[in-house]
Amino acid sequence: MLVTIALDALWAALAAGLVGLVVASHLPRPVDRPAPLVQPFGQLVRRAVERPWARGLLLLGWLWLGWHFFAR
């Protein structure tokens, strides 16, 4: 029971972090800063797909998430 609660808290923290990054990527940037603090999520995925090793890592992560979400 305690392990389930801890794992659910971990997933909630990861989801909150991802949502925080997406929100931060859409915030207006300061005038004196040429680049945004966080790049848009689509741009990060596009850059990851350009590299073969990162594409493999993204695929493994997607498979891992699919297994843990749908195989329960």
Q: What is the pTM (predicted TM-score) of this model?
A: 0.46
At 24, list the tokens: 């931060």
Residue 35 lies in a domain: no
CA atoms within 13 A on the CB side of 1: 0
Residue 34 lies in a domain: no
Residue 22, domain extent: 1-27
18-63 pLDDT, tens digit each: 888 778 777 776 666 666 666 777 777 787 778 888 888 878 888 8
Report the alpha-carbon distance of residue 35 to residue 27 in Å, rounded.
12
| Count: domains in the chain | 2
Give me the residue label for tokens 């997406």.
Answer: 22
Residue 33 lies in a domain: no
Query: Do 69 and 44 share a structural domain?
Result: yes
